[in-house]
Amino acid sequence: MAQTFNFVPSKGFTKTVKPRVLVAQFGDGYSQRIQNGINNITEEWSLSFNSRSIEDADSMLTFFEEHAGAIGFYWTPPGESTAKAVICPEWSKSYDSHISATIQARFVKIFETL
- Percent of the chain at pLDDT exceeding 90: 94
**47 contacts: CB under 8 Å, gap ≥ 6:** 9, 10, 13, 104, 105, 106, 107
Tell which phi-psi region holds residue 69, choosing left (phi > 0), alpha (psi between -120 and 50) or beta. left
pLDDT in tens, 74-88: 999 999 999 999 999
**21 contacts: CB under 8 Å, gap ≥ 6:** 33, 34, 35, 36, 40
pLDDT in tens, 10-39: 999 999 999 999 999 998 889 999 999 999
DSSP 16-52: EEEE-EEEEE-TTS-EEEEESSSS-EEEEEEEEEEEE
Residue 45 pLDDT exceeds 90: yes
